[in-house]
Amino acid sequence: MSYADLLIWQYKGQPRATATVALISDTFSTTWNGLADLRQTLDIERATGTHLDLIGQHVGQSRVLSSERTPVQHDLSLDDAAYRFLIKCRIAKNHMTGTAPNMEEVLDFIFPGSAAVLDHYDMSYTVFVSTAMISDVIRHAITALDILPRPAGVRVRYNLVTHLPFGYERSNRNYTHGTFGDPPER
């Protein structure tokens, strides 16, 4: 059903009225489709090129790193993957509350499934990050640019793990008290 069908009987045969309704209808549908596409355009996981630049401007992260912050002698323009990483780090720093569970959520946003937080309960954290799939630019950003989130007043030590260590998920206790369940009855 079109909006032209909703005209009252006096204007149904009038060409200017139907043209006006068609123009307004087309404008609204074009605007609505553009707004519907905006969500996909600004999705940080799917955005590329200028769309990613727009997200970076919104959160305050430039695509170009100055030569003072890079190991090369000239300004470095980042590719989409490295730039997406810096944008995620900036977003994480802006929205972090500083608790250990929040630190795990933030690092899972930046490194999906490849980071773990160990709280020592003495105002210090150790963060383990698997760097098996990380480029050299991102590795340099982690070690030299201080871009990863950290709570104020808490010492955070980042360990970059180049291999997958063995361990039981979220269980740091021994065999009879871990998450294996109850020990067998005798």
pTM value > 0.85: no
Q: What is the pLDDT along the chain (186 residues), one digit of tens a residue?
A: 677 777 788 878 888 988 998 899 899 889 988 888 888 888 898 888 999 999 999 998 888 877 665 566 677 788 898 899 899 989 988 888 888 888 888 888 888 888 888 888 899 988 888 877 778 888 888 878 878 888 888 898 888 887 655 555 555 555 544 444 444 454
Q: What is the pLDDT of residue 170?
A: 57
pLDDT at 83: 92
Q: Indicate the domain borders of the chain.
A: 50-161
3-state secondary structure the chain: CCHHHHCCCCCCCCHHHHHHHHHHHHHHHHHHHHHHHHHHHCCCCCCCCHHHHHHHHHHCCCCEECHHHCCCCCCEECCHHHHHHHHHHHHHHHHCCCCHHHHHHHHHHHCCCCEEEEECCCCEEEEEEECCCCCHHHHHHHHHCCCCCCCCCCEEEEEEECCCCCCCCCCCCCCCCCCCCCCCCC
